[in-house]
Amino acid sequence: MKTKRLLITGAAGGLGRAVREGLAGYAETLRLSDIAELGLAAPGEEIVRCDLADREAADALVAGCDAILHLGGISVEATFDSLLQANILGTYNLYDAARRHGVRRILFASSNHATGFHRSDEQLDETSPRRPDSLYGVSKCFGEDLARLYFDKFGIETVPVRIGSCFAEPTDRRMLATWLSPRDFVSLCRAVFDAAETGYLMLYAASANRDQWWSNAHAAQLGWKPVDSSEPYRAAIEASVMTEEEAHALHFQGGYHAASRSVG
Can you list the domains of the chain with their CATH numbers? 5-259 (3.40.50.720)
Amino acid at 88: I
**The predicted structure's pLDDT at residue 261:** 81
**The predicted structure's pLDDT at residue 95:** 98
| pLDDT < 50 stretches in the chain | none
**The predicted structure's pLDDT at residue 10:** 98
Residue 95 catalytic?
no
Give the Cβ contact number of residue 145 at 10 Å.
12
Query: What is the model's pTM?
Result: 0.96
Catalytic residue (one of 136, 150, 204, 256): 136
60 Cα distance to chain centroid = 23
**The predicted structure's pLDDT at residue 260:** 87
CB 228 within 8 A of CB 207: yes
**The predicted structure's pLDDT at residue 2:** 81
**The predicted structure's pLDDT at residue 263:** 75
